[in-house]
A and B are shown apart, each in its own frame.
Chain A
Amino acid sequence: GAVVSQHPSWVICKSGTSVKIECRSLDFQATTMFWYRQFPKQSLMLMATSNEGSKATYEQGVEKDKFLINHASLTLSTLTVTSAHPEDSSFYICSARDSGLTYEQYFGPGTRLTVT
């Protein structure tokens, strides 16, 4: 099956610094990737839709200047959390969409971000 990887799996950073999370589709091309945020014991909240070669589409209430998304190739999307604060600590999950007609998404293993 299709595999999506994320790197790093966990990261600790100091308040005010920036951190980049990578999402890769390993054995298929993904014109669209999604970034989610998940708080403990809660569901996934869609943050943005990342389209290869164009600007990301952010959901209402998500700060585009804080959560920078770049989808530079058909297999890589990155999420950069800029000027991180403790309230940005969360589990970030990406997914890549099957380019066929199934509308199925393949999820990465997630990245645990802790801002101290």
Chain B
Amino acid sequence: AQSVTQLDSQVPVFEEAPVELRCNYSSSVSVYLFWYVQYPNQGLQLLLKYLSGSTLVKGINGFEAEFNKSQTSFHLRKPSVHISDTAEYFCAVSYTGGFKTIFGAGTRLFVKA
């Protein structure tokens, strides 16, 4: 079965420190990969996406992610976080032969002063 695993449910980090949010997926076919951010009581905002081409993808708000096909991973990184980055982050995958998007369980990033 196709699935997305976000390895950390919560990630506390101090302001200006680097952070990595991990995401692994299961697939035997080509995929499109996404990271979304959700602030309280709001919908999802796209941070970045991987469709094809360069495996290092840069997104909004200083975030980037690297697609690693051999490890079936798409980890999200930011070199220096801000208090305002505190939110829920979802990794998602769409399969090129399919139609639906599958979401991970989410990672709560909590940035401390």
Contact = CB atoms under 8 A, between A and B. Distances in A.
A43 B103 contact: yes
Contacts of B101: 34, 46, 103, 105
A20 B41 CA distance: 19
Nearest to A38: B38
Contacts of A107: 36, 43-45
Chain B interface bracket (under 10, 10 to 19, 20 to 34, 35 or more): 20 to 34
A93 B43 contact: yes
B74 interface: no
A42 B11 CA distance: 15
Interface of A: 4, 6, 32, 34, 41-44, 46, 49, 91, 93, 95, 102-110, 112
11 contacts: A44-B90, A91-B41, A93-B44, A95-B44, A103-B94, A103-B101, A104-B32, A106-B46, A107-B45, A109-B43, A112-B41
